[in-house]
Amino acid sequence: MEQQPGPSRGAAGTGRAAALLLIPVAVGLGVWFVGRGLTPDPESSLFGARYDDAMELKARLGTALLGLALVQLLLAARMYGLLPGSRPAPRAVSTVHRVTGLLAFLLSVPIAYQCLSAYGVELTSPRVAIHSITGCVLYGAFAAKVVVVRSHRFPGWTLPLVGGLLFCAIALLWYTAALWQLNGFRAPGLT
CB neighbours (10 Å) of residue 150?
Answer: 9
pLDDT score, position 7: 42
pLDDT score, position 1: 46
CA distance 86 to 57: 37
At residue 29's C-alpha, the angle toward residues 160 and 62, to 5°, is 60
Contact call for residues 65 and 170 (beta carbons, < 8 A): yes
Residue 63 CB-half CA count within 13 A: 11
pLDDT score, position 62: 97
For the chain, which residues make up each domain, given as ranges?
21-35+48-182
At residue 106's C-alpha, the angle toward residues 104 and 110, to 5°, is 115
Q: Which of 166, 102, 100 is nearest to 134 (CA)?
A: 166
pLDDT digits (tens, 9 = 90+) for 95-132: 999 999 999 999 999 999 999 999 999 999 999 999 99
pLDDT score, position 3: 45
Residue 49, beta-bridge partner list: 46
Q: Coil, strand or helix: which one is 53?
A: helix
Low-confidence ranges of the chain (pLDDT < 70): 1-14, 17, 191
